Structure 1
Amino acid sequence: MNSTTQSTLLEPPTEPSTEASQNDIESDNASNNNPTKNNNETPAAPAAAYSAFSPAMRTYLTYLLGFIITLSTLTATIYFPLIPLLATQFHTSIQAVNLTVTAYAIAQALAPALFASLADRVGRRPVLLFLVFLYAAASLGLALNRSSYPGLVALRVLQSVGGSPTPALAYGIVADVAPVAERGAMLGPLLSTCNAISAVGPVVGGALALATAGAEWVFVALLVVAAVSLLLAGFTLPETARAMVGNGEKEVGGVWSTWWACGRKMLRARSARPGVGRSRREKETDSSELRTGPEPRRGWSLRDAVASFRILLHKDALAVLWMVASSYSIYYTFQVAIPVIFDEVYGYNELEIGLVFLPGLAGMTIGGIVAGKLVDRNYAVTARKHGFELKDKEKHDLAEFPIEAARYRHCLAIIFVEALLVIGYGWAVRFRVHPAVPIILQFFACALSTLLSHTSSALLVDIFPNTSSSAYASGQLMRCGLSAASAAVIQPLVDAVGRGWYFTMFSLFVSVTCAASVLVSQWKGREWRQNRFARRP
């Protein structure tokens, strides 16, 4: 050690000057901002993407789910033309066959609440596969049942239990793989695919029944749809539940793995002799691939089975749920009223009445497409208005983001137009104008009804991000209840005041309550939602 160095080490430390200290601070800050100048500092790891699923996979899931959830809608639409035929086949009355529709509707309201909560906890894939298999078994039983009326009721209930929860699971999968700002791009085509396939249900059901003079081939057709859905989901549907796989990067095995992946593992196991030519790292990799869960998680309990019912108790959810249910009741009311109106007023036969359903279902399809695009566009406009960067859309905190304002942008104007369409439909039928007029009004009314229903359903899933399937199931519970009530009062009110005044009263009731729901959500929804998040453990 030279003398200069030694004297320096022996000297007491001196206080640096203010100027020197400032230079050192600036130098340290520059070093922190430039990792290349400071080897001891590592840059912060970038935040993980919301979803690891590729855009191509998301597109595939969109149309796969759109096909699978037809097990819920097609099952109902294809059944209506069969009612007179089933009454003859089972030697019973039309009213008795109508009870099978009621039983189906009850199961349709209750089953999603149970299976949606189960899917939120244990994964979407195994629950969906079980439901599709159950639906296929019920369809096979219906095709084989030729004379037992109790069997018809039981199998229709079983069919509803299998098919009705699939839309709730589909909404959950969309919430798993798509951030809030991009969900419309999936929901629009998904729902439109379902509606387009379901639109041909009444025509297909009537045509098959007419050609075969029986209902069994209709149920065989539903069995084929279920079998195709089961194969596609089994081989290609990945597990997406965030409780299981996070953003999709974590590997799972067992029932959460696709049949294709399981098959490849079996082939590799057969082609390789155990323990020969395999490194320790390869064995550890295989072991990690066979894990049944990526991390500890809370299991499903009976308390979770009522999660959809408990959602009804939250003030912010109840406002949105009313919007979901009342807007959907417009479409449902049209579906119930069409057969009677076009039979009594216009004298259409069964085939012509089946064709009259098509414009409304086409309106639903287009309304779903438009809703998907508007949901994303309104989100982007609202984000810019409130100073949220669109490039960071995956990081937006919904506790702070005004999601109610984004989803319900321009909805009041849409509600007003919807009210005019429904009122116009009622008076057009009342004065027996040319049937083209109510058919056109039906198309636009169903399109706007679907747009409003899908928009509010998207908001419902948004405000319950950790239980998205259960949230959608609560919407289905509310929707089925209100629709059943509206269907029950149609004929008594029409008999009392006529179709013109009935549709006027119905339109005013729905439009006023929908508008109130929107205003309440925009005014207090965010505050209620923040309070609910704050109370959450």
Structure 2
Amino acid sequence: MSEEIENEKREEAAEHEIEGRGNNITTERQETQVKEQEAEAPYSIFTSKQKKWIAGLLTISAFFSPFSSTVYLPALQPIQRELKISTTEVNLSLTTYLIFQAIAPTLTGGLSDSLGRRPVFLITFIIYIGANIGLALQNSLPALLVLRMLQSGGSSGTVAIGFGTLADFTTSGERGAYMGAVNAFPLSSPALGPVIGGAIAEAAGWRWIFWFLVIFAGVTLVLLVLGLPETNRKVVGNGSIPPPRLNRAVLNKLVSPSASQSAEAPAKIKRRKRDMIPNPLGSIMIILNKDVFLILLVMSIYYAAFYAVMASLPQLFSQIYGYNELQVGLCFLAFGTGGILGSIVNGKIVDRDFHATAKKYGITVDRKKLEDMTKFPLEEARLKSIWWAMSLVIASVISYGWCLHTKPHVAAPLVLQLIIGGCMISVVNVLSVFLIDLYPNAPATATAAGNLMRCMFGAVSSAVINLMLTNIGIGWTFTFWGLICLLCYPLLFIELRYGQGWRLARFEALVKKQEEQKQKDANSKA
């Protein structure tokens, strides 16, 4: 009897095993079908006009963070006199702004990656507008400092969210041109800020600088409420999934693709609750990766050199040429012009380099689909044309210092400013696109990581530049910054040599972690 029972158990076990294999085969077939459908579907079904509309909104939105930093400069002395505070105390409002400009995107970027771009965008603008109203009405140093923190927190998040939004609907083969165009207007804002701020302060008083920002931001908020669609791929996929009510634009039918534009539109995306909780430390964890750290270190060093040139301009041009505040403000336009031209031209070069590298290795690239970048030589593609921009920055920064040392006609340093602005922005653009390529599933968090490190370096350089000018002179100060930028060459050569291996290792570790998590989920259900 015992043998018969054991035989029956063996037969039942065999039947279950065959059935399990059948179920596994069915599951594998279903997964394969899903992957095939995803491979056949375009990366984004947003139309070209819709993409350009979104890019336009992002350009305007990203303008506020750098603009709010410099438009405030002409108000420093009037605020100091009216509030009866010291120069050190009023300068604290600059420091607090820079600190929150670095920190705030690490939270808002993660939130937008988890919850969606649109609701976080709107919240940041509401905070920004409220802070500006408070700044226009405040009459004390504590209120000034707190409101400047809120102003910075509200505006700085738009940059990380904006680049995350771009990554939602652009592939690696077209991302450079879009990022170049979106970056052009915001990168000119530090140059426009002192000019506009000075004109407003002189004509209507310093409080109207903040009322101007309230009006400008209010109009932008209306545009966002009416016409910014949700693009987060965790919420709307490639645009074919209807967004939840809170993520839906008022004019959603005009600015979002219809479901009919997709061959097959899934009903919704299933998301685990833990995936919807943002991790504010995510940006810091990204920085700890070897390849990312090298990219961000180079970007931050160049950004620090750029800030050193920008921060020293008012003092140097006042001393050397005897310019007043308005004339000094107009000198910033050289940086702005160079930044706009450099950003637009470089964006097209970045895309050209990507396709040239793909052609070199016989890789077919479809602009409508996001290719598998795990084995693509991204390092070679993205760093292909960065060397000439880096070299021009080094040469022009050193020349700028010795040029001012000899006190020539103002046209000479302004031309060098134009070159510095254009080439510096080209370097930052290339590395920003590269950073998003490394983290396509969390682009806003990755951008926030870059913003954190970059702003910290910029804050340090702007803090020490006057000390350097006083102790070692103009020529040697900018020679120092040029040589610091020169040290970035070996860092990028290391990235070019080992970056792909580090990237593949990280990808394999991520896949292994996901498989382990799936196994845990399956065991918990069982």
TM-score by length of structure 2 reads 0.85
Match of 1:127 in 2: 120
Residue correspondence of structure 1 range 209-224 to structure 2 within 5 A:
209-212=201-204, 214-224=205-215
Letter in 2 for 1:248: G
Whole-angstrom distance in 2 between the partners of 1:182 and 1:500: 41
Taking only aligned residues, the RMSD between alpha carbons, in angstroms, comes to 2.0
Matches within 5 A, 1:453-492: 453-492=428-467
Q: Is the 8 A contact 2:56 2:182 kept in 1?
A: yes
Secondary structure of the corresponding residue to residue 407 of structure 2: coil
Give how far 1:431 is off.
1.2
Contact 1:428 1:437 in 2 (8 A): yes
Q: 1:180 aligns with which of 169, 172, 185?
A: 172
1:116 to 109, 131, 135: 109
Residue 238 of structure 1: aligned partner: 229
- Contact 2:172 2:370 (C-alpha < 8 Å) held by counterparts: no
Structure 2: distance between partners of 1:131 and 1:107: 13
- How far apart, in 2, do the equivalents of 1:509 and 1:195 lie? 23
Match status 1:532 vs 2:520: no
Letter of the aligned partner of 1:155 in structure 2?
Answer: L
Offset of residue 262 of structure 1? 9.8
Aligned residue in 2 for 1:32: none
Would the aligned equivalents of 1:330 and 1:446 in 2 still touch at CA under 8 Å? Answer: no
Determine the C-alpha separation between the residues in 1 that align with 2:227 and 2:366. Answer: 31
2:153 match: 161
> Does the residue aligned with 1:259 lie in a helix, a strand or coil?
coil
The one-letter code sitting in structure 2 at the alignment partner of 1:88 is R
- Find 2:380's aligned residue among 391, 405, 416: 405
CA 1:112 to 1:334, structure 2 compared with 1: closer, same or farther past 3 Å?
A: same
Is 1:66 equivalent to 2:59 in the alignment? Answer: yes
**1:360 maps to 2:351:** no
Aligned pair 1:255/2:246, yes or no? yes
Please name the residue that 2:130 is paired with: 137
Q: Give runs of aligned pairs for residues 91-490 of structure 1, distance below 5 A.
A: 91-145=84-138, 147-196=139-188, 199-212=191-204, 214-261=205-252, 294-299=269-274, 304-391=279-366, 394-490=369-465
Residue 395 of structure 1: CA displacement? 4.4
Give, in angstroms, the shift of residue 521 of structure 1.
Answer: 1.5
Distance 2:217 2:203 in 1: 22
Give 1:14's aligned residue: none
Is the 1:73–1:198 Cα contact (8 Å) retained in structure 2?
Answer: yes
Give 3-state SS (helix, strand or coil) of 1:509's partner: helix
Q: Report the Cα distance in structure 2 between the residues aligned to 1:178 and 1:523, rounded to whole angstroms.
A: 27
Give the AA of the match of 2:352.
Answer: R
Distance across 2 between alignment mates of 1:439 and 1:155: 35
C-alpha contact 2:110 2:278 (8 A) present in aligned 1: no
Tell which structure's C-alpha radius of gyration is larger: 1
Q: Secondary structure at 1:320's aligned position in 2?
A: helix
Matched residue type, 2:232? A
1:14-29 equivalences in 2 (<5 Å): none
Q: Is the 8 A contact 2:163 2:447 kept in 1?
A: yes
Residues 323 and 394 of structure 1: CA distance in aligned 2, closer, same or farther (over 3 Å): farther
Distance 1:249 1:262 in 2: 12
Going from structure 1 to structure 2, the CA distance change for 1:47 and 1:262 (only over 3 Å counts) comes to closer
Q: Distance in 1 between matches of 2:190 and 2:296?
A: 24
Distance 1:194 1:493, change over 3 A: closer
Task: Determine if contact 1:251/1:294 at 8 Å carries over to the other structure.
Answer: no
Query: How far apart in 1 are the matches of 2:370 and 2:158?
Result: 29
Show the counterpart of 1:3.
Answer: none
Matched-pair contact (CA < 8 Å) for 1:243–1:297: no
What letter is aligned with 2:214? Answer: L
Paired residues of 1:107 and 1:160 also in contact (CA < 8 A): yes
Kindly state the Cα deviation for residue 478 of structure 1 after the two structures are TM-superposed.
0.6
Deviation at 1:473, TM superposition (A): 0.4
The residue identity in structure 1 corresponding to 2:181 is P
Q: Tell me which amino acid in the other structure corresponds to 2:462.
A: A
Unmatched segments (≥5 aa) in structure 1: 1-43, 264-287
The separation in 2 between residues aligned to 1:421 and 1:350, in whole angstroms, is: 25
Partner of 1:164: helix, strand, or coil? helix
Post-superposition offset of 1:297: 3.7
Does the aligned pair in 2 maintain the 1:244–1:295 contact within 8 Å? no
Q: Which amino acid aligns with 1:122?
A: L
CA distance in 2, matches of 1:459, 1:207: 39
What is the distance in 2 between the residues matched to 1:90 and 1:196?
31
3-state DSSP class of the match of 1:469?
helix
* Contact 1:316–1:529 (8 Å) recurs in 2: yes
Identity, in percent, stands at: 35
Are 1:522 and 2:496 matched, yes or no?
yes
- For residues 252 and 295 of structure 2, the distance between their equivalents in structure 1, rounded to whole angstroms, comes to 40
State the alpha-carbon separation in 1 of the partners of residues 275 and 216 from structure 2: 30
Shift of 1:259: 2.2
The corresponding residue for 1:87 is 80
Q: Report the counterpart of residue 6 of structure 1 in structure 2.
A: none
Distance 2:252 2:416 in 1: 50
Alpha-carbon shift at residue 489 of structure 1 (Å): 2.1
Q: How many residue pairs align between the two structures? A: 466
The 8 Å contact of residues 188 and 335 in structure 2, kept in 1 or not, is answered as: no
The code of the aligned residue for 2:106 comes to A
Structure-1-length-normalised TM-score: 0.83
Gap regions ≥5 residues in structure 2 = 1-35, 255-264, 514-526
Do 2:173 and 2:367's aligned partners in 1 also have CA atoms closer than 8 Å? no
Q: Is residue 124–residue 173 contact of structure 1 (8 Å, CA) maintained in 2?
A: yes
C-alpha displacement of 1:325: 1.0
Which of 512, 520, 524 aligns to 2:487? It is 512
Q: Is the 8 A contact 1:122 1:300 kept in 2?
A: no
Return closer, same or farther for 1:512/1:198 CA change in 2, 3 Å cut-off.
closer
Letter in structure 1 aligned against 2:457: L
The CA deviation at 1:516 is: 2.1
Structure 1 residue 442: deviation in Å? Answer: 0.9
Letter in 1 for 2:168: D
- SS class of match (2:279): helix
